[in-house]
Every structure is written in structure tokens, then in C-alpha cells.
């Protein structure tokens, strides 16, 4: 399976605005964000000053709700996600709408909800969200694994399936979520959820995905049928 990156003309938002630092008058240039139709990203959004951005279950539900609303307005594919108490991981494939439009729509709505509910003012999120462009299959799979293991690495749970605010349960077939496009990733494992589980949870699974390794694993699976 080959990812759809045939559109090599990369558009960027005009983020080259120069700003003055109020303390020293130093000109600061914002880094440009790269976007092109079909681009896939690993997005990380953190709470300002590392503060919690989810204080109860309703908050998690509301964030998911805003993602659904924005998906209707600006369609995108959500491959995987994990909502932690003070930050969010999203693996998003864009369609014909820029990633910054999507993220601004989600985070602005959630910030407005959060500040109104808890009677707060100011920025909820730390600066702009962080984004990494995913342009090969190995990084696509590694990002999926990293996102689903986030609660385990943080010591919250010992197994990713035990964490309720991630897409891992969808990947394992425990429940369905129409917002998640897990088949895009499971296709690399012949849609076998057990192979994906082994890839994510096995201690000796490769940290940097070897596509030949996956091909060999799938070949063995096919022969054993």
C-alpha cells in the first residue's frame, strides 16, 4: 500500500509574519507550516504552562464532540488520537482544507467552552499546536504506535486498551467510532487486529518500523491460514 502523496506541490500558510518582542524589540519570524492536499500530520496540543485541559469526563467528551463538528464543516480523516489530561495527540489526514483551519476550529471552540465552564480567561493552550508532517509508511505506523502507547509511557495504565480516551479500543474492535479511520492503518497488517496489537504492545517490536518486517509478518500469517 502506498500513501497518497502524489501531489508534491506543497502549499504553506502565510506564517512568515514578523513580530516584535515586547521586551527587546527583537524581530521574531514564525516558522511556516507546510500543507498540501492529502497531507498527514502528527498533531500535539499542550495546555498553557502544562496545565490540565481536561478536568472531568465531560471535558473529554466535549473535545471529541468539537472534532466531530469540525469534521462536518472541514472534512478530514482521523487515524488515531489520545487525549491526555494536559495535552492531545492527533494523527490527521487532511482533505482539501488546510490543517491550521481544522485545528483552529477545534481548539478555539474547546477553549471557549472550557473558559466559560470554569470561569477562566486567557489562553488555554500553549502557543500554537505542534505538527509533524508524515510522509512515509514507517512514520505513519510509528506515530500510531506512539500515540496509543502514550498513557502506558506516562504510567497511567499498564495496557493501552485500559485507557478510555484514545482510539486503541477502536483498533482492537472493542467499540466503534465513526470518526476514526482505522482501516487506513490496519491495511498494513492485512486488517488483522492481532497483528496490530502485537506491533504496538510487544516489547521487542521495532521502534523504527521496517516495512520488510511487516511484509514478512504478513507472509507468515498468510502461510499459516
- Each residue's pLDDT, cut to its tens digit, for the chain (225 residues) gives 434 332 333 443 333 333 333 334 443 344 566 878 999 999 999 999 989 999 999 999 999 999 999 999 999 999 999 999 999 999 999 999 999 999 999 999 999 999 999 999 889 998 788 999 999 999 999 999 999 999 999 999 999 999 999 999 999 999 999 999 999 999 999 999 999 999 999 876 545 444 444 444 444 344 334
Beta pairing, strands 76-83 & 27-29 = unpaired
134, 139, 144, 147: CA torsion to nearest 10: -80
The rounded distance, in Å, linking the Cα atoms of 129 and 100 is: 9
Neighbour-count burial of 29, counting CB atoms closer than 10 A to its CB (0-12 exposed, 13-18 middle, 19+ buried)? exposed
The rounded distance, in Å, linking the Cα atoms of 125 and 103 is: 12
* CATH code, residues 11-223: 3.30.70.1290
Q: Where are the beta strands (DSSP E) in the chain?
A: 11-12, 18-20, 27-29, 34-35, 40-46, 76-83, 87-94, 130-134
Amino acid at each position: 500500500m502506498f500513501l497518497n502523496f502524489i501531489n508534491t506541490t506543497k502549499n504553506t500558510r502565510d506564517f512568515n509574519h514578523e513580530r516584535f518582542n515586547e521586551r527587546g524589540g527583537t524581530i521574531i519570524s514564525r516558522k511556516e507550516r507546510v500543507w498540501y492536499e492529502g497531507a498527514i500530520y502528527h498533531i500535539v496540543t499542550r495546555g498553557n504552562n502544562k496545565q490540565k485541559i481536561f478536568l472531568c469526563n465531560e471535558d473529554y467528551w466535549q473535545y471529541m464532540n468539537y472534532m466531530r463538528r469540525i469534521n462536518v464543516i472541514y472534512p478530514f480523516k482521523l487515524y488515531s488520537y489520545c487525549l491526555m489530561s494536559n495535552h492531545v495527540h492527533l494523527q490527521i489526514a487532511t482533505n482539501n482544507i488546510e490543517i491550521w483551519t481544522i485545528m483552529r476550529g477545534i481548539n478555539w471552540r474547546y477553549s471557549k467552552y472550557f473558559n466559560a465552564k470554569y470561569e477562566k480567561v486567557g489562553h488555554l493552550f500553549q502557543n500554537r499546536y505542534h505538527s509533524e508532517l508524515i510522509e512515509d509508511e514507517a512514520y505513519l505506523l510509528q506515530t500510531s504506535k506512539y500515540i496509543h502507547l502514550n498513557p502506558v509511557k506516562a504510567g497511567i495504565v499498564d495496557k493501552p486498551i485500559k485507557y478510555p480516551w484514545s482510539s486503541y479500543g477502536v483498533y482492537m474492535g472493542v467499540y466503534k467510532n465513526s470518526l476514526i479511520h482505522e482501516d487506513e492503518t490496519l491495511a498494513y497488517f492485512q486488517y488483522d487486529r492481532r497483528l496490530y496489537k502485537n506491533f504496538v504492545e510487544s516489547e521487542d517490536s521495532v521502534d523504527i518500523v521496517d516495512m520488510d518486517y511487516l511484509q514478512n509478518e504478513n507472509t507468515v500469517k498468510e502461510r499459516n491460514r
